[in-house]
Amino acid sequence: MLSIQLPPSSAPRSVYPVDVLPGEVRARLLEMTRDESPVSTYVYDASVAIGRARQLREALPDWAAVYYAVKANSFPALLGALAPHIDGFEVASRAEVELALEALPVTDGVPAPLVAAGPAKSVPVLTSLIRAGVEAINAESLLELHRISRIAQREGVRARVALRVNPAEIPVSGSLHMGGEPSQFGVAEPDVPAVLREALGLPAVELIGFHIHAASNNLDAEAHAAYLRWCVEWSVRAAQEAGFTLRHVDIGGGIGVAFEGEKEFDVARFGELAAAVEVPPGVKVVLEPGRFLVADCGWYAAEVTDVKTSYGETFVVLRGGINHFQLPTSWDIVHNIAVLPVPGWPESCPRPTAEDTRVTVVGELCTPEDTLLRDVRVDRVRAGDLVVFPYAGSYGWEFAMHRFLGHPVAERHLI
């Protein structure tokens, strides 16, 4: 029997007060309601993402670099706004390469400030990366290394490569996702020496370092600094044993975003502890934050098309859903909302309303899986009001099921 994945119940929570939405966001959304089309949109405030990027960059030592992971939010206007405040972009497709280079143009003769990831890079993807002259391709396997060398030979260049490693174990406590598990990502640590020997013999590969991405949604600054230290020390030893000059250590992303009741990641403390790590001269340590920079710079808003009660349960139906915002059904979290009242309603129509009760928020798709929030208490919500999800700046629009049923995709706007 097929099991339907629904978000966890939000009881006993209530919706956020409307003033959790910044005044400029409220004003922009209410302005959109004056159009005849039902509202279903993302609104982004670039200043929030820029503030996060600058805070992290300024806390880190000079040997560290911040490369924003484009997959978290690829809205071109936001990338352009972020570009002056980061060191580069992390990309995983040809489309992301194009977006990144448009936001951060490259000077001739200088490596494109991009690092490239992904477990199944095709020949066309690898070719575009090599032609773009990216700073590092994170190679995931021995076969990928051979493909990179063959393509680079054909293009008459040498490709800069960092080997992605799946470590056997990371001896760091805290909320890190430890290594040593079977995965499609990277080369298992026991196989690394043999892969490095072959990589060093490939004619068009320039081995510059390692990529180790073993942290996920970590809110513990001390554990993350210890993880950074471990990555650097491991990479120094591995490069020495293999006999090549280490210039690049990519520790991935993994800095977490705090939701209700969680303590935010202490950026200042992380930077203080990172500064104590001994990094050899000439080695760049790359961090690839995505969600951390943009999660709280975005809001997803959808108009309430109906409010209805069925067998004692009240449903708030949206012009949108998992075709626009799939996170609540993909992650085991309660993604709370605010209700933005919208004035005006045709006198000839009844205005369905729910007051002082618990509601379930659902979308417009023909599946019960299109459920975004369950059992949340509202003071009042009416047809025509807007339901607004904060913390929708990362893995929102990019992660949604845009083509399912063929409804119009959500709009995107930058404040």
Angstrom distance (rounded) from CA 409 to CA 323: 7
Instruction: Report the candidate in 368, 302, 336, 260 with the shortest Cα–Cα distance to residue 6.
Output: 368
Angstrom distance (rounded) from CA 316 to CA 130: 49
Tokens describing residue 178: 């430890």
Angstrom distance (rounded) from CA 136 to CA 159: 8
Helix/strand/coil percentages in the chain, nearest 5: 30, 25, 40
Instruction: Report the candidate in 80, 76, 75, 53 with the shortest Cα–Cα distance to residue 64.
Output: 53
Kindly list the distances between the CA atom of residue 222 and the CA atoms of 216, 228, 236, 255, in Å, as whole numbers in the listed order.
14, 10, 21, 11
What single-letter DSSP state applies at residue 313?
A: E
Instruction: Report the candidate in 97, 16, 17, 84 with the shortest Cα–Cα distance to residue 47.
Output: 84
Angstrom distance (rounded) from CA 206 to CA 159: 6
Tokens describing residue 63: 């040997």
366 is annotated as an active-site residue:
yes
Amino acid in position 95: A
Catalytic residue among 231, 297, 349, 366: 366
Instruction: Report the candidate in 177, 203, 180 with the shortest Cα–Cα distance to residue 190.
Output: 180
What single-letter DSSP state applies at residue 305?
A: E
Residue 7's Cβ-count burial label (10 Å; 0-12, 13-18, 19+) is buried
One DSSP character per residue, 177-195 reads: --S-S--SSSEEGGGHHHH
Q: Are the C-beta atoms of residues 46 and 414 closer than 8 Å to each other? A: yes
Three-state secondary-structure class, residue 199: helix
Residues labelled catalytic: 366
